[in-house]
Chain A
């Protein structure tokens, strides 16, 4: 008998029942909830006269609509305010643990879950948000779900689903200095495309992945969905366990020791067989910049905007043509010649302490380019913000000309007041460069925090490895 992949171990441990046709009911250990995708689910629950199956499995937080400026006056936009107030009410009515807008632990749902130790190895984790894949960094089966499924999990603690195929993405060798988790993931998406992971659970492995911190692994797993995969994961090792030790919701004492013994098993067996394997050479990965309107449209910072006429597939060529038009770029232009209006350092992809340290180390002692309209840093959580301030990073950013904001999703998706104006171009550490994602008509280039910081200083893209005062 061959061994099991990590995904198969997680799956097998959570099957409540399985039908002959492959439809299975899997048990959900942790349910993360935010204000945008939950109101209709709670309403459905209420209309049916149901209660949450296990309210203690739920951690709720307001993140998408919250202002990142002074919150003492509440939310100005009445529609956003109602949505957050609806979560306030639901959390109160159903006795949920809830970090409201003014809680010091408040932050982006995918930052606070792991920060609090609410995401533990071996768990199934769901949230009405496609970036739930982030939590797979802790060897969890973590998936984004729709609002009807949120209601289903609330009512039954289970998800109706089918087993996915397995894809191992192995990044061999070590990446060079200045090349980060974000660059690795953009390079992976550039390689396998936005459909490459559809129908698969991805396990990220190889020397370059093992060498990453938990923050880096979260960045990688976060963008699994941009490669089409509902979930991505990394096996447990010492890095995982050390990150979790002492976190508020992590087990303590004897229970901790038992848990760690169990967690050590959460690796793919040596003889496990994946349905598909993709191997990348980590040593060849350069800092990445997206040029188009899909995360697969990326090139190395030393490259040029590609030419659709050189693309053989007509549907793809047309997509490239449309993207160039939207992005107001012409083929052949060096990436380093692209000038920027705004810089956004934040999001569930890149707003953890390590990301802010990386950006601050580039910015330290420098000023942002006078041609920029704005450069902002939005910490991923209140606790990340406190930590950064304790390290003096806020001052580094402020002295350089950045705005230092309150935590939230902010300009990753522009549901609050933070957004691009039509035609503006932004270097962003977020995860999606779709048309209008950061504001109607806005143009997004996805990069790492260090690359965004370097672009802020230069006013245009620049290879962070060659960046000097």
Chain B
């Protein structure tokens, strides 16, 4: 997994609540069997004026000039500022892959949907939860200050804006994995003996759980 330690980048504000994973990456692009290449279709329905299809040439498509990602002042942004319940809906990890592939390294919001939040850590995308009032203040600052940037330090759990330093909370295990780019599966398999012991114990109590779904 890709590590996340520190990052400084331009901020793009997406000023709407309940941004769902269908909006982040529409369903037609989920047909891919790869993990890469989703960035050009990030927010496809909002970003382009026509309808995108998988495998299409996105360079010729008409852009929606009103959508923030298309505004020159936010070009090259790598930090997404969002509203509450970001990433709600479908469990599709393609949403995280699309953000990552586009170049977004962190998303800041007052709250995240559980599955999206979980998925983010698996691809090295940092979700940062801040108080609603703080997020509101950041929105005002981003909108009034062209070229607005933030610095995020995961080890220190701080965000530095042009005027202040904010602290944020993060689960200690996930922080450790993200800082070191650790692979969950490798870590879990270090406990293989414990998993086998659990299975034996559990089989004694509830053998029907192990009957499996062999062909009937």
Contacts and interface: CB of A to CB of B under 8 A. Distances in A.
A411 B128 CA distance: 34
Given A17-B191, A122-B206, A230-B114, A146 B31 contact: no
B119 A148 contact: yes
Given A56-B213, A152-B184, A228-B114, A251 B33 contact: no
B206 A79 contact: no
A67 to B, nearest CB: 14
A194 B85 contact: yes
Nearest to A24: B173
A255 B91 CA distance: 35
B88 interface: yes
Interface string B152-188: 0000000000000000000111000000000011011
Given A158-B195, A414-B27, A434 B188 contact: no
B91 A79 contact: no
A33 B38 CA distance: 22
B188 A128 contact: no
B28 A156 contact: no
A146 B91 contact: yes
A258 B149 CA distance: 62
Contact of B209 (A123, A162, A198, A436): A123
Contacts of A161: 118
A415 B96 CA distance: 19
B202 interface: yes
Given A16-B198, A195-B84, A415-B31, A57 B212 contact: yes
A151 interface: yes
Interface stretch (B3-11, B16-24, B72-80, B98-106): B16-24
Interface size for chain B: under 10, 10 to 19, 20 to 34, or 35 or more residues? Answer: 35 or more
Contacts of A16: 191, 194-195, 198
A436 B26 contact: yes
B40 interface: no
Interface string A329-363: 00000000000000000000000000000000000
Contacts of A56: 210, 212-214
Contact of A436 (B22, B34, B173, B216): B22
Interface of A: 13, 16-17, 19, 21, 23, 25, 27, 29, 36-37, 39-40, 43, 48, 50, 53-54, 56-59, 64-65, 77, 79-80, 82-83, 86, 97, 116, 118, 120, 122-123, 128-130, 132, 144-149, 151-152, 155-158, 160-162, 194-195, 198-199, 225, 228-230, 248-249, 251, 255, 258-259, 262, 294, 315-316, 318-319, 322, 413-415, 422, 432, 434-437, 440-441
Given A40-B33, A120-B209, A255-B207, 8 more contacts: A37-B93, A79-B54, A82-B31, A97-B214, A228-B114, A413-B22, A415-B28, A440-B26
